[in-house]
Amino acid sequence: MSTAGFMVSTVDDRKSVVVLSGAGMSAESGLKTFRDSDGLWEGHKVEDVATPEAWQRNPEAVLRFYNERRRQLMRAEPNDGHLALARLEEGYEVSVITQNVDDLHERAGSSSVLHLHGELDVARSTVDDRLLYRLHGKEIRLGDVCDKGSQLRPHVVWFGESVPAMEVAEPIVRGADVLMVVGTSLLVYPAASLIDFAESAARKVWISPKESADVLPLGFEKVLKTAAIGIPDLVSDLLAEEKLD
Ligand code: APR
């Protein structure tokens, strides 16, 4: 028997689901959102801990704040929403684009996670952005330096800093068959502008326990549920649809 002319296709013809997640994604894992209650983030004003000016003024306080966030993250676990997104890979090509600096998507098993605002468990050189160091839960202290001898800082995007990962994120959103927006107020730019890159034919779903006021453009289905409840429901529906196709 000849196999001439027989071609094995290596093209991934699964549909693409793109998830844009924000702080609400991790709320049920015990990590606080930014803008929900008192206008403070874990008791701090954003401009005291998450700006280049704060770093210039009081680097020790900034390091202490992020060291505490990192300790808190080490104790947190992915919730049912994170776990459902990992399960969705059984039937779809899933890309997670997150504004969160936690690693709960990765720990739940998602294989493609882009961090728009950096990662809490990574330190970065203050003279060379390419020098990154995984912390494995350790603290950054004043005097901890990179290979070029300069102070290390958290690898997070502060207010007023650019978001280099946007260039990578935009084409991913353009390729979405389904865009799932979860747990974000869509108030912080440029991340919020990503939803505008979705094709008009893409299915667009918003999952959040609160109404979206006027931040959502037309064409979004709204699921007024928390991430740990709304995502598993949607994932079950999406997986069932694929099996029926
Ligand atoms: N499940 C889903 N959504 C939730 C939940 C939940 N359990 N709890 C709260 N939310 C929603 C809130 O109603 C709100 O719309 O999550 C959203 C959280 O919004 P923000 O606190 O503004 O967080 P986010 O949009 O991620 O902020 C963007 O701003 O502070 C900076 O860099 C930081 O990445 C962050 C960015």
Query: 24, 32 in Cβ contact below 8 A?
Result: no
Using CB distances shorter than 6 Å, the residues near ligand 1 are: 22-24, 27-28, 33-36, 99, 117, 182-185, 187-188, 208-210, 226-227
> Distance (Å, rounded) from C-alpha 1 to C-alpha 192?
57
Element (H, E) at 155: strand 152-156
Residue bearing the CA closest to ligand 1, atom 21 = 34
Q: Which of 25, 29, 35, 155 to mutate to test the pocket of ligand 1 (most atoms within 8 A of CB)?
A: 35
**DSSP of 56-75, one letter per residue?**
HH-HHHHHHHHHHHHHHHHH
Q: Are 118 and 165 in contact (CB under 8 A)?
A: no
Neighbours of 5 (CB within 10 A): 5
User: Which residue type, as a one-letter code, is found at position 22?
Assistant: G
Series of mean pLDDT values for 10-residue runs along the chain (245 residues)? 48 90 97 74 85 97 96 97 98 98 98 98 97 97 98 97 97 98 94 96 95 80 96 98 75
Instruction: Report CA(213)–ligand 1 centroid distance (Å).
Output: 14
Residue 220 is predicted with a pLDDT of: 93
The pLDDT of residue 32: 86
- Centre of ligand 1 to C-alpha 194, Å, is 15
Among the listed residues 221, 209, 216, 224, the one whose alpha carbon sits nearest the alpha carbon of residue 27: 209
Active-site residue (options: 115, 117, 136, 155):
117
What is the per-residue pLDDT across 211-222, written as a single tens digit (0 to 9) for each? 877 778 789 999
What is the Cα–Cα distance from 191 to 168, expressed in whole angstroms? 12
What separation in Å is there between the alpha carbon of 100 and the centre of ligand 1?
9
pLDDT at 68: 94
End-to-end alpha-carbon separation of the chain, Å?
Answer: 33
> What's the burial of 170, exposed, middle or buried (CB within 10 Å: 0-12/13-18/19+)?
middle
- Give the model confidence (pLDDT) of 15-50 as tens digits: 999 999 999 999 999 998 887 666 667 788 888 999
Does the annotation count 117 as an active-site position?
yes
Q: Provide the residue type at 26 as one letter.
A: S
Provide the CB-side half-sphere exposure for 18 (13 A, CA).
22
State the pTM of this model: 0.93
